[in-house]
Structure 1
Amino acid sequence: MSWLILILSGALEAVWAAALHRTFQASGRRWLAPALLFLVSVLASMAGLALAMQSIPTGTAYAVWVGIGVVLTSAYAIITKTERPTNARLLLLTGIAACVVGLKVVA
């Protein structure tokens, strides 16, 4: 169960990163919705990480949480055309994803 919570918390990290980006792109009152999404998702993400760390070693939990967040945030940026999907970027992101899976296998 802790691993599922950790994976969902990592996904929420990508949500709050994207919401933070949108918050600073918005003007007028249009920044309020992404700012609220940022606050809710960052709190839920941190709470999930803290909960998962009760049964998963700290270093492993943090590395998996960050790895999932990085890969999903980058995927979102590529899909929304904020970043270019270069071969090097895709290869390195695949490496991060492989390391996250590896940490699950050896933990």
Structure 2
Amino acid sequence: MAWVILAVAGLLEIVWASAMKKSEGFTVLGPSVVTLVAMVASFGLLAVAMKSLPLGTAYSVWTGIGAVGAFAVGVVFMGEAATPMRLLAVALIVGGLVLMRIAGGH
């Protein structure tokens, strides 16, 4: 169950990072509120997952989900470049997440 909670926390990290971009430096109310609510929920779920997962594993997976997801949102919805080097970087992050999951022991 900790892995599911961690995955949801990671998805919420994508939400808050994307909303933060749309908030234009916290000058647009709606995305600013979404950022803060999703951030608190993401941190809270990360804390719950860390009760039973190792710190290094939980934090690495959480940030990895957020990084890969934010990259995907940027490319798909915000017109950011998907260059070969950026795609390789994302592939390396995903590979690291898979290794962390395998080595996590939980």
Q: Report if TM-score (shorter chain) is over 0.5.
A: yes
**Deviation (angstroms), 1:94:** 1.0
Asked if 1:46 is matched to 2:60, the reply is no
Which residue does 2:100 correspond to in 1? 103
Which residue does 1:59 correspond to in 2? 56
Which residue does 2:76 correspond to in 1? 79
- The separation in 2 between residues aligned to 1:83 and 1:25, in whole angstroms, is 19
* Contact 2:57 2:100 survives alignment (8 Å): yes
Query: What's the CA shift string for 1:51-87, capped at 9, x where partnerless?
Result: 0000001111000000000000000001124420000
Report the TM-score, using the length of structure 2 for normalisation: 0.92
Q: Percent identity?
A: 39
| 1:45 alignment partner AA | S
- The separation in 2 between residues aligned to 1:65 and 1:79, in whole angstroms, is 21
Report the TM-score, using the length of structure 1 for normalisation: 0.91
Please give the root-mean-square deviation of Cα atoms over the aligned residues, in Å.
Answer: 1.4
Give the gaps of 5 or more residues in structure 2. none
Give the gaps of 5 or more residues in structure 1. none
**Structure 2 SS opposite 1:85:** coil
| 1:98 alignment partner AA | G
